[in-house]
Amino acid sequence: MALLLDILLYEPEIPPNTGNIMRLCANVGARLHLIKPLGFTLEDRLMRRAGLDYPDWSRVTTHDSLAACLDAVRPPRLFALSTRGGRCYAEVDFRAGDSLLFGPETRGLPDEVLAALSADRRLRIPMRPGNRSLNLSNAVALVAYEVWRQSGFAGEDG
């Protein structure tokens, strides 16, 4: 399966979400980057249960900081997903090599991280008024599948 994108989780907190995202990455051909501190260990039984045997199929790397992650990945384009983003993710023409940055479940990405990106790189997922946010693994799935869809589902086995 062709590598389409890198998914960066900034300080993820909930093990089953990360396990689900690990499984998702294996299925769409993405690399997963976990930016410390993590709210769990990679051996956490809840994370392992959600990821099942996918750690063997996923490319997962941990990084000590966002700067270290970006230095290692060197994304040609970085998009941050946030409820405070102004541009809908579905308006973007994604390309192979793009990176998607998601914040921790309980607080989202810090203001300084969002401010470092231009407005067209701060994306949101549409929701009904008054709702806080989607579950992290659901948000990652929506956007990752949109990237893959735009590629014509490159590498799909069907």
Q: Residue 137, annotated ligand binder?
A: no
Structure tokens at 143: 């956007």
Q: Residue 151, annotated ligand binder?
A: no
Q: Phi then psi for 25, rounded to 5 degrees?
A: -60, -40
Q: Residue 133, annotated ligand binder?
A: yes
Order of strands, sheet of 87-88, starting from the edge strand that comes earlier in the sequence: 59-63, 31-35, 5-10, 98-102, 78-81, 122-124, 87-88
With CA atoms as reference, report the closest residue to 69 among 118, 95, 36. Answer: 36
Distance of alpha carbon 121 from alpha carbon 138, whole angstroms = 20
CA atoms within 13 A on the CB side of 143: 34
Task: Name the helix (H) or strand (E) containing 25.
Answer: helix 15-28
Q: Residue 81, annotated ligand binder?
A: yes
Binding residues for S-adenosyl-L-methionine: 81, 103, 125, 133
Binding residues: 81, 103, 125, 133
